[in-house]
């Protein structure tokens, strides 16, 4: 089973308007409310790929009820821990003619010690053959080591894990041997305080993550495609042609495609192919990609070995 953890989920209130003028009344041309959160995005892609997952996290209040109602539309298996504070609302404003996106993100609920303990109980059943994917921000009073502590716990129980994070928080997880890490090329450069002159520089620094414990390294490079770096080989996926509509969730989609496929096939190359297709398909979609779009993009992606 794949478990996804979204510690601080949200209702994403997405507003579209022609142009936004600060300090004045602005009227939208359309709006939509979506269940938000990086782990939720992962579960939604897994569902499109007909792969089972259970979405975990904290939800509370009237907004928490709305969040769960929105999730029901996607027929996901969930087991959220109920908390007393309200689930947050994030506002995303897309000014079309100005080609600008503005986000206003809520801080989220305060989690009590008892609520946290109740959540941890759910992870006691995780074991051999399971993968836990942790991603997204933390509620304001949860310690910054929350995901790392969970990784240590579920690893001791025999499960694999993925933490979608960057910086020192990512480096701290490497001795625990995460199944995959997925920095983009800019984040990878920042990790090692360097700049890249060419693709080989990217590969060399990705190998540092393998040397420190990661099992697989995915590096997304926007219009230059993506790389999969393993212990002895490097593979590249081209960037398929298409109009980028929504970059939110593309990285989550790539992780979902890779992890879900790897759990099923144990084939890193095919997992990379499907992961790249999921990421691009979401980028080309208004929301998280659907299966038909993933299949379409899959045909436009070629995987080649880098010498």
Catalytic (active-site) positions: 252
- Listed in order, strand segments (DSSP E) in the chain are 2-6, 10-17, 30-36, 53-60, 77-78, 81-83, 88-95, 100-104, 131-135, 160-164, 217-220, 226-229, 234-237, 303-305
Both structure tokens of 35: 């269940």
Coil, strand, or helix at residue 35? strand
Please list the residues that pair with 78 across neighbouring strands: 55
Render 230-266 in DSSP notation, one character per residue: -SS-EEEE----------TTHHHHHHHHHHHHHHHH-
Nearest to 275 by CA among 265, 262, 264: 262
Both structure tokens of 122: 């759910």
């Amino acid at each position: 089973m794949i478990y996804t953890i979204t510690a601080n989920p949200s209702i994403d209130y997405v507003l579209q308007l022609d142009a936004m003028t600060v300090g004045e009344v602005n009227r939208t041309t359309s709006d939509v409310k979506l269940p938000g959160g990086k782990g939720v995005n992962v579960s939604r892609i897994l569902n499109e790929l007909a792969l089972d997952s259970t979405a975990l996290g904290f939800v509370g209040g009237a907004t928490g009820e709305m969040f769960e109602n929105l999730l029901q539309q996607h027929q996901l298996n969930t087991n959220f821990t109920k908390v007393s504070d309200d689930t947050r609302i994030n506002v995303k404003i897309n000014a079309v003619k100005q080609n600008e996106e503005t986000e206003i993100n809520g801080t989220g609920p305060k989690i009590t010690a008892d609520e946290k303990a109740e959540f941890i109980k759910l992870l006691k059943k995780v074991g051999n053959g399971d993968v836990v994917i942790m991603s997204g921000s933390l509620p304001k009073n949860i310690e910054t080591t929350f995901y790392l502590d969970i990784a240590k716990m579920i690893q001791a129980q025999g499960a694999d894990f993925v933490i979608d994070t960057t910086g020192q928080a990512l480096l701290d997880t490497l001795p625990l041997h995460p199944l995959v890490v997925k920095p983009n090329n800019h984040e990878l450069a920042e990790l090692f305080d360097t700049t890249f002159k060419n693709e080989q520089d990217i590969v060399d620094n990705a190998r540092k993550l393998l040397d420190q414990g990661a099992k697989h390294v995915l590096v997304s490079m926007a219009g230059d495609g993506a790389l999969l770096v393993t212990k002895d080989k490097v593979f590249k996926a081209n960037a398929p042609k298409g109009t980028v509509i929504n970059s939110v969730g593309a990285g989550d989609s790539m992780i979902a495609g890779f992890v879900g496929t790897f759990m099923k096939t144990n084939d890193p190359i095919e997992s990379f192919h499907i992961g790249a297709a999921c990421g691009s398909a979401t980028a080309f979609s208004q929301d998280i990609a659907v299966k038909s779009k993933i299949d379409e993009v899959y045909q436009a992606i070629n995987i080649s070995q880098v010498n």
